[in-house]
Structure 1
Amino acid sequence: MEKRWVLKEQSDASEVALLSDALGIDRVLANLLIQRGVKTFEQAKTFFRPTLDSLYDPFLMKDMDKAVVRIEQAIEKGEKILVYGDYDVDGTTAVALMYSFLSKLTDKIAYYIPNRYSEGYGVSIEGVTYAADNGFTLIVALDCGIKAVEKVAYAREHGVDFIICDHHLPGDTIPNAAAVLDPKRIDCNYPFKELSGCGVGFKLAQAYSQYKGIPFSELEPLLDMVAVSIASDIVPLTGENRVLAHFGLKRLNENPSRGLLSIIKLAGLVGHSIAVDDIVFKIGPRINAAGRMESGKAAVDLLLADCDLNAFEMGEAINICNNDRKEVDRGNTLQAIEIIQSSPELQKKKSTVLFNPTWHKGVVGIVASRLIDYYYRPTIVLTASNGFATGSARSVPGFDLYQAIDGCSDLLENFGGHMYAAGLTMKEENVPAFIERFESIVAASITDSMMIPMVEIDSELKLSDITEKFFRILKQFQPFGPGNMSPVFISSDVVDNGDGRLVGADHEHLKLDLIQEDNPYKPVTAIGFQLGIHYDHISKGKAFNACYSIAENTYRGVSSLQVRIRDIKY
């Protein structure tokens, strides 16, 4: 699939020169900093040296005082507390974090993860009924609840209070709970709006600790779970998230919880410097697999494991779930591609909406993401569950998926999510009307450029500029993620030095040693995944332009710099 390259607006040359001189760094690196809003020595110090002291006062969040008082009341009176959360990574890490924190303060506590298949996403009537029937008088809901107006009212009728810790966009009405913590509330003045659900839970733990004089050091062991939630939920890695992720990754690498350590071992990451990408592609999917294939409770059980043997056994069970998930999503994806390929009408559309009642509910979000790799447009994949059509939606950069779905809200039973990802449920008979309406909304608002994959390039760079010092400073830009993506560079008129070859089981990848005219004797090692189609051109010694990121490649204990090519043009 052809991609469009977009070079970011370059920073003012005089600003770049000033920052470069002040920090003693390359001007390309100074330009990268300014692009990220870092323009002074002090701002650079904060960026490169995050401190936990820079975390915001949790009591700046609307209703935080109410939440702390209600928890204190529950603990003092010996009330039973139920920690409730969604079945994905953000939800399960949030539940594990809150349970771990509160269980040190009271023994009248349990946790509850709704069943993806019988209860669906978010707060369920079944979950509230379970709480009421078992004597729980307070539910702390994490990563869900901001739209659970009727369910919170139902809970009140049955003598159950709610504290909601959510980060999704609220609806028109805020639930009548004891406290509703959500930085995206219009009436919330909390300075940072992009916390994960687990991050909001951490702020509640931080607030209660401040209130009770519990030292912050007792919260630090929880930061590995916060980092896993931030990376897996793909929230911006800026501001407070950057600080939490920085220290959470440090914890994950140096002293992770038993449960996370078992996943690290099963993912083959022991001895590896774990970064955000490792969480996104190796740790997060394994935690998610439990909720997709069986029950999210298994993931919480693992995260809370109190001995190495239990952690290992539960980790192995979750790893099996992950392998099963891979098989199912691969099969469902192939079926979905076949449906589109066999229909010229579907191929011409501006959106993809597919419904197959036999597809596995636990993988429809993954299938939607994979379809965008083939047909680059807003995509919704639906399956049957409990008499309804339910599924997941994914978008392309620049297109507000949530607003498009909201335009079909009269056809839906419920929906929720973000600009780029959402979940939705409707009556099966509404599917044809939804497909037609959604397509008309997308066609009227999406631009042609949005439907071409974009590679955003930070800066031009000469291969000779890629030095150990350059990379040493570039590494300090981590953790990378939305809002602070790994920088992408472009080098023009590069050639392979003649040692290039095809690698991979199907010879689908390029392995090259790149040189440029200004320094033909210093090749730079490069790998281009899925770029084998360019080999004929490159093997003839012809020049090309490459856009790439720079990474560290470790092989047999030896680390070296490596250019990871994103795309090639000639």
Structure 2
Amino acid sequence: MKSKWLVYAKKADFKAIEQKYGIDQVIARIMRNRDVCTDEEMQMYLNGSIDGLHAPELLKDAQKAVDILTEKIAQHKKIRIIGDYDIDGICSITILYKALKKAGVDVDYVVPHRITDGYGINEHLIDNAAAEGKDTILTCDNGIAAIPQIQYAKEHGLTVIVTDHHDIPFTEENGEKKLLTSCADAIVDPKQPDCEYPFDKICGAVVAYKVMQILYEKLGLDKTDFKEYTELAAIATVGDVVDLKDENRVIVRQGLAWIATTKNTGLRALIEACELDAAHLSAYHIGFIIGPCLNASGRLDTAQRAIELLLCTEPGKAHEMAQELRELNEERKNMTDTEAKKAIEMVEGTDLYEDNVLAVYLPECHESVAGIIAGRLREHFYKPSIVITDAADGAKGSGRSIEGYNMFEEITKCKELLTKFGGHPMAAGLSLPTENIDLFRAKLNRQQTLTEKELTPVTWIDVPMPVSYASKKLVEQLRVLEPFGKGNEKPVFADRKLTVRSANMIGKNKNVLKMQLEDTQGHVVDAIQFKVEEEDMPLRGKEISIVYYPDINEFRGNQTLQFIVQEWCYTT
């Protein structure tokens, strides 16, 4: 779908910022476009360090949770961690398990099975914990919405500590939201309205990380362990697609740097199995290669395998496990491609195409890839998308949203049709009886208020910048903006009235467009665009406008500027 090009117009004294921080004004403009405004924010953005992260004690109930844990440690009580089966849950469990083991705790962990258990803590897991003599349940990346389940655990004499980062569940009464809460002994979640923590967009692994910081301080444990915990928190932050702003960006930047020399045997084995260079990992490698391999275990088998890899200390065994995860991810990718193609064809070939909110029923699709397929639908049609599959008990769905549509709140309005649901504004999961699928789809579309403007993707241009201004020096400075991701997107530039001197399709699959472009001053540059159909190739001699990112291409030891084209159109 063609996007609308808009230019950021946020104001600041860019010359003063350039002089104060020694950066190009282009860099200053990009920072301002990411809402980095104050001196404190700029210092954190450019020079933030792990030592400068927000104090964990500001998290509501974090100190209370640690007080409970230290009391349980003194009493030699058994603690069970219950996490989630995605990358955030996997890393959260690993951080908590390693840290509590270092504290001398009698601790183990359980990760729910996606198919048989579903998301989060449940009565079955609680019964098992009680039967096996556990005194305390510690949740991570789940628990905030498990109100009846936690009540059940308390009735069975268990202490429950919740660490989570998801939105607080609510009901609506007379058009007003009423937040719900459980009877857990401590609830650590920055989304709580009375929590003083200054940044509520951290992932579950970072919440766990923060609680363990307080525990380590209280018990006087060796804080060098937090180098490895930071690596895991960085992986979870990227993998859970939370905003790379504020301290998230610092954690990811430092975590990526430390992964280069990681002492985590399993992580090192997975990097090698994926044929990556640990010294040059980016957020892209975590989000699209390492993360999916860890996630694949929870999708097609059990996330236990990924956790065991991250806890493994024997290199030979770790390499074997890492290779198995990579192969599992290849299986997952093939399955996803097949089902995504089917879903797109279903929308294009039925009255679903007229819906502003897509709810696609793929009964035979493996429920573990429903969220990925929903993401593909969202990208293809630029509409909020939910993919529903048959499950052991009824049906399950996973959704991905667009800006302007709070999926969690909209699904909440349909709660009478659902048996279980939860999530964020941009993503959600749900369960429902199969006979309610059509009713659910109809109600979602009846209550939606999306406009044509909201259903049109927008490409925000950071700086309209002539290609002649780009230089190797500027490209090097752009790297200070990394890591890129949600909330700190890779910068986007634009130039117009560029004459196409040559245009050819290259690459093994003939889907890479290589061009030579000339600006109005006679400046000729090399440009390249990936994943292009041959019919989308511009005509030689025509003038085009491009959205691009400047990069350095290295070939046989020679470095040259190359412009990565994101979109183009004929100049009007």
**TM-score for both structures, normalised by structure 1:** 0.94
Match of 2:255 in 1: 248
Offset at residue 213 of structure 1 (A): 2.5
- Residues 286-295 or 38-47, more deviating: 38-47
Q: Please say if residues 138 and 163 of structure 1, whose CA atoms lie closer than 8 Å, have aligned partners that are also in contact.
A: yes
Q: What SS is found at the alignment partner of 1:219?
A: helix
Match of 1:352 in 2: 358
Q: What SS is found at the alignment partner of 1:194?
A: coil
- Indicate yes or no: 2:441 matched with 1:435: yes
Aligned length: 561
Q: What SS is found at the alignment partner of 2:563?
A: strand
Residues 100 and 271 (structure 1), Cα distance of their counterparts in 2 relative to 1, 3 Å cut: closer
Match of 1:278 in 2: 285
Q: Please say if residues 472 and 552 of structure 2, whose CA atoms lie closer than 8 Å, have aligned partners that are also in contact.
A: no
Matches within 5 A, 1:288-367: 288-343=295-350, 345-367=351-373
Q: 2:398 aligns with which of 377, 392, 395?
A: 392
Q: Please say if residues 464 and 519 of structure 1, whose CA atoms lie closer than 8 Å, have aligned partners that are also in contact.
A: no
Q: 2:511 aligns with which of 485, 508, 513?
A: 508
- Indicate yes or no: 2:58 matched with 1:57: no
Q: Please say if residues 548 and 565 of structure 1, whose CA atoms lie closer than 8 Å, have aligned partners that are also in contact.
A: yes
The AA in structure 2 aligned to 1:478 is: E
Match of 1:130 in 2: 128
Q: Find the aligned partners of 1:217 and 1:295 in 2 and give their Cα distance.
A: 30
Name structure 1 gaps, 5 residues minimum: none
Match of 1:175 in 2: 182
Q: What SS is found at the alignment partner of 2:386?
A: strand
Residues 551 and 87 (structure 1), Cα distance of their counterparts in 2 relative to 1, 3 Å cut: farther
- Indicate yes or no: 2:10 matched with 1:6: no
Residues 209 and 201 (structure 1), Cα distance of their counterparts in 2 relative to 1, 3 Å cut: same
- Residues 179-188 or 353-362, more deviating: 353-362
Match of 1:16 in 2: 14
Matches within 5 A, 1:132-531: 132-171=130-169, 172-255=179-262, 257-270=264-277, 273-343=280-350, 345-442=351-448, 445-498=449-502, 500-521=503-524, 523-530=525-532
Residues 470 and 226 (structure 1), Cα distance of their counterparts in 2 relative to 1, 3 Å cut: same
1:486-509 C-alpha deviation (Å, 9 max, x unpaired): 1101111123443x3212344222
**TM-score for both structures, normalised by structure 2:** 0.94
Name structure 2 gaps, 5 residues minimum: 170-178
Offset at residue 519 of structure 1 (A): 4.8
Offset at residue 397 of structure 1 (A): 2.2
Residues 59 and 39 (structure 1), Cα distance of their counterparts in 2 relative to 1, 3 Å cut: closer
Residues 169 and 436 (structure 1), Cα distance of their counterparts in 2 relative to 1, 3 Å cut: same
Q: Find the aligned partners of 2:103 and 2:214 in 1 and give their Cα distance.
A: 14
Q: Find the aligned partners of 2:142 and 2:304 in 1 and give their Cα distance.
A: 16
Match of 2:172 in 1: none
Q: Find the aligned partners of 1:555 and 1:417 in 2 and give their Cα distance.
A: 45
Offset at residue 159 of structure 1 (A): 2.3
Q: 1:88 aligns with which of 86, 89, 100?
A: 86
Q: Please say if residues 168 and 192 of structure 2, whose CA atoms lie closer than 8 Å, have aligned partners that are also in contact.
A: yes
Q: Please say if residues 502 and 511 of structure 1, whose CA atoms lie closer than 8 Å, have aligned partners that are also in contact.
A: yes
The AA in structure 2 aligned to 1:395 is: S
Q: What SS is found at the alignment partner of 1:287?
A: helix
Q: Please say if residues 19 and 40 of structure 1, whose CA atoms lie closer than 8 Å, have aligned partners that are also in contact.
A: no
Residues 557 and 208 (structure 1), Cα distance of their counterparts in 2 relative to 1, 3 Å cut: farther
Q: Find the aligned partners of 1:155 and 1:323 in 2 and give their Cα distance.
A: 39
Match of 2:174 in 1: none
Offset at residue 419 of structure 1 (A): 0.9
Q: Find the aligned partners of 2:31 and 2:338 in 1 and give their Cα distance.
A: 43
- Root mean square deviation of aligned Cα: 1.9
The AA in structure 2 aligned to 1:530 is: V
Q: Find the aligned partners of 2:72 and 2:555 in 1 and give their Cα distance.
A: 54
Q: What SS is found at the alignment partner of 1:449?
A: coil
Offset at residue 512 of structure 1 (A): 2.2
1:141-178 C-alpha deviation (Å, 9 max, x unpaired): 10000011111111122222111110001123222112
Matches within 5 A, 1:13-52: 15-39=13-37, 43-52=41-50
1:259-317 C-alpha deviation (Å, 9 max, x unpaired): 22122112221266111111111111110000000001111111111111121111111
Q: Find the aligned partners of 1:305 and 1:84 in 2 and give their Cα distance.
A: 19
Offset at residue 329 of structure 1 (A): 1.2
Q: Find the aligned partners of 1:557 and 1:98 in 2 and give their Cα distance.
A: 45
Q: Find the aligned partners of 1:87 and 1:155 in 2 and give their Cα distance.
A: 21
Q: Find the aligned partners of 1:561 and 1:210 in 2 and give their Cα distance.
A: 49
Q: Find the aligned partners of 2:44 and 2:56 in 1 and give their Cα distance.
A: 20
Q: Find the aligned partners of 2:139 and 2:558 in 1 and give their Cα distance.
A: 46
1:477-535 C-alpha deviation (Å, 9 max, x unpaired): 1111222111101111123443x3212344222122333223525x2443343264332
Residues 70 and 505 (structure 1), Cα distance of their counterparts in 2 relative to 1, 3 Å cut: same
Residues 100 and 420 (structure 1), Cα distance of their counterparts in 2 relative to 1, 3 Å cut: same
Match of 1:568 in 2: 568
Q: Identity, % of aligned pairs?
A: 30
Match of 1:97 in 2: 95
- Indicate yes or no: 2:73 matched with 1:66: no
Match of 1:534 in 2: 536
Matches within 5 A, 1:107-126: 108-126=106-124
Q: Please say if residues 500 and 544 of structure 2, whose CA atoms lie closer than 8 Å, have aligned partners that are also in contact.
A: no
Q: What SS is found at the alignment partner of 2:537?
A: helix
Offset at residue 6 of structure 1 (A): 1.6
Q: Find the aligned partners of 1:152 and 1:512 in 2 and give their Cα distance.
A: 60
Q: Please say if residues 512 and 528 of structure 2, whose CA atoms lie closer than 8 Å, have aligned partners that are also in contact.
A: no
Q: What SS is found at the alignment partner of 1:184?
A: coil
Q: Please say if residues 463 and 524 of structure 1, whose CA atoms lie closer than 8 Å, have aligned partners that are also in contact.
A: no
Q: Find the aligned partners of 1:555 and 1:271 in 2 and give their Cα distance.
A: 22
Q: Find the aligned partners of 1:352 and 1:441 in 2 and give their Cα distance.
A: 13
- Residues 180-189 or 373-382, more deviating: 373-382
Offset at residue 116 of structure 1 (A): 0.3
Residues 89 and 554 (structure 1), Cα distance of their counterparts in 2 relative to 1, 3 Å cut: farther
Q: Find the aligned partners of 1:441 and 1:271 in 2 and give their Cα distance.
A: 48
Q: Find the aligned partners of 1:186 and 1:24 in 2 and give their Cα distance.
A: 39
